Amino acid sequence: MARELYRSEALRQRAERLFPGGVSSPVRAFVAVGGQPPFVAKAKGAFLWDADANRYLDYFGSWGPMILGHAFPPVVEAVARAAQNSVSFGASCEAEGTLAELVVKAFPSIEKMRFVSSGTEAAMSAIRLARAHTGRKYVVKFEGCYHGHADALLVKAGSGVATFGVPGSAGVPEEVAGLTLALPFNDLGPVEEVFARLSGQIACVLIEPVAGNMGCVAPRPGYLEALRRITASDGSLLIFDEVMTGFRVAFGGAQEIFAIQPDLTCLGKILGGGLPCGAFGGRAEIMDGLAPRGPVYQAGTLSGNPLAMAAGIATLTHLAEHRGKIYSSLERNGRTLADGVAHAAREAGIAITTNQFGSMLTWFFTSGPVNDFAGAAASDTATFARFHQAMLNAGIWLPPSQFEAAFLSAAHTPADIDFTIEAAREVFAKKG
């Protein structure tokens, strides 16, 4: 059933005149899946409504923040209350410390932190701090991992597996990209080779401990532990980018699950309950390098914004109070959804690999396995695009790219999961 998108189409035509690609962020343009993206008018719980009043089950959840569902009453009330006292001060306020105390309790590796307004700012600032703290210039990242759009991190692998990076975007100078090495995820060989060749020269290793930006890909057993060991012995900092996994895969993020203490952690998304908010933090002896205490400059007009703090406090307080029930339910529903859709695909003779980690999951249209970006890139993206379009027409809004993770919220019910699996079965039966 094709959905009528008259109002969305009118809004899209205006947006095309005003914004490059008609969007505020590229993935929203549906380039990878085709079709016209509906414009969202409102959302509540697990559902979105577009400008033509079509309803959708939401499985991208604002790309991670909406773990409690949209318009969660305690969050809405907290933001409304805070807004009565102005929406921004540009000065220290009580709410910053209140949210920070919730963070350091959830992340024992964080003694001190700094709020910023996005995950990009968190990662960008964390590597600057790591370079200053170590006096070193090289940064190691991993193919398929995304840490926001700072120049140093828009870098792809060079010609050889463990060679210096090349620009991953126009506008990134080779000189900048050449200070970053992009290695294969889940493969220790290139890491050991690079640390042998550049011993004492690598400022940090930055990783998504559970990758979400190549689609969902978990670390192999022992992989993260080995990165912790290698970086510690070389005096390089290990930075966990938990912008997506923080408060998502567990209340204390991936580092709680794997019992690993990184030197620095980047946070975002759920931290601000859906308002613009990021943070980076770690041991005080590292963080005290930041201005005005230390020589590393970092700043932000809206850092610690009172509304973002209020939304974050309401979100993390609810998660903390109900963490047992919420995370076990997210794991159960995530597993049921992942397996149910995969089973339906296999019944229809469609090759599919499912990677699920708590309430993050991706269906890769390949026989797999998918343990790194090369494995993800083997997916049949045309089949994914047809699947995405057919599911959207069935009222199910999946992330519009094979290389993104889908997210469940605490508002998704078992009935929603069953509805989604049945819709997928019908789509696959028509060779979606």
Q: Which residues contact 113 (CB under 8 A, 6 or more apart)?
A: 100, 103, 104, 267, 279, 280, 281, 282, 287
3-state secondary structure of 102: helix
Which range touches ligand KE4 (CB under 6 A), out of 2-10, 207-215, 220-228, 361-369?
Answer: 207-215
CB-nearer residue toward ligand KE4: 167 or 268: 268
Cβ atoms of 329 and 373 closer than 8 Å? no
The pair of three-digit structure tokens given for residue 387, joined into one six-digit string: 């699947």
CB-nearer residue toward ligand KE4: 148 or 312: 148
In this structure, the chain runs to a length of 432
Question: Of 59, 138, 146, 223, which residue is the catalytic one?
Answer: 146
Task: Please select the residue that binds ligand KE4; options are 109, 180, 186, 213, rule is CB under 6 A.
Answer: 213
Binding-site size for ligand KE4 (CB under 6 A) equals 19
The yes or no reply on residue 244 touching ligand KE4 (CB under 6 A) is yes
Task: Please select the residue that binds ligand KE4; options are 404, 406, 407, 410, rule is CB under 6 A.
Answer: 404
Of 212, 211, 194, 216, whose CA–CA distance to 203 is shortest?
194
Is residue 269 flagged as an active site residue?
Answer: yes
- Please state the closest distance from residue 169 (CB atom) to ligand KE4, in A: 13
The yes or no reply on residue 212 touching ligand KE4 (CB under 6 A) is yes
Is residue 263 flagged as an active site residue?
Answer: no
Lay out the site mask for ligand KE4 across 7-36 (x = CB under 6 A, - = otherwise): ------------------x-x---------
Which range touches ligand KE4 (CB under 6 A), out of 117-125, 163-171, 319-327, 342-350?
Answer: 117-125
CB-nearer residue toward ligand KE4: 148 or 184: 148
CB-nearer residue toward ligand KE4: 26 or 189: 26
Residue with token string 């940090």: 204
Q: In what order do the strands lie in the sheet with 47-50?
A: 40-44, 47-50, 55-58, 396-397
CB-nearer residue toward ligand KE4: 30 or 428: 30
Of 195, 211, 244, whose CA–CA distance to 373 is shortest?
211
Distance CA 252, CA 275 (A): 20
Cβ atoms of 411 and 70 closer than 8 Å? yes
The yes or no reply on residue 37 touching ligand KE4 (CB under 6 A) is no
Which range touches ligand KE4 (CB under 6 A), out of 112-120, 250-258, 372-380, 388-396?
Answer: 112-120
Amino acid at 48: L
Distance CA 239, CA 154 (A): 17
The yes or no reply on residue 272 touching ligand KE4 (CB under 6 A) is no
Distance CA 222, CA 228 (A): 10
The yes or no reply on residue 65 touching ligand KE4 (CB under 6 A) is no
| Contacts of ligand KE4 in 145-164 (CB under 6 A) | 146-148
The yes or no reply on residue 388 touching ligand KE4 (CB under 6 A) is no
- Number of DSSP helices (H) and strands (E) in the chain, helices first: 14, 16
CB-nearer residue toward ligand KE4: 63 or 357: 63
Distance CA 165, CA 303 (A): 31
Q: Which residues contact 207 (CB under 8 A, 6 or more apart)?
A: 141, 142, 145, 185, 224, 227, 238, 239, 240, 241
Task: Please select the residue that binds ligand KE4; options are 8, 54, 109, 120, rule is CB under 6 A.
Answer: 120
Question: Of 138, 269, 372, 416, which residue is the catalytic one?
Answer: 269
Distance CA 272, CA 310 (A): 8
- Please state the closest distance from residue 326 (CB atom) to ligand KE4, in A: 21
The yes or no reply on residue 50 touching ligand KE4 (CB under 6 A) is no
The pair of three-digit structure tokens given for residue 87, joined into one six-digit string: 């929406």
The yes or no reply on residue 123 touching ligand KE4 (CB under 6 A) is yes
Is residue 146 flagged as an active site residue?
Answer: yes
Distance CA 64, CA 58 (A): 11
Q: Which residues contact 422 (CB under 8 A, 6 or more apart)?
A: none
Which range touches ligand KE4 (CB under 6 A), out of 35-43, 86-94, 114-122, 176-184?
Answer: 114-122
Residues serving a catalytic function are 146, 241, 269
Residues of this chain that interact with ligand KE4 (CB under 6 A) are: 25, 27, 63, 118-120, 123, 146-148, 208, 212-213, 241, 243-244, 268, 278, 404
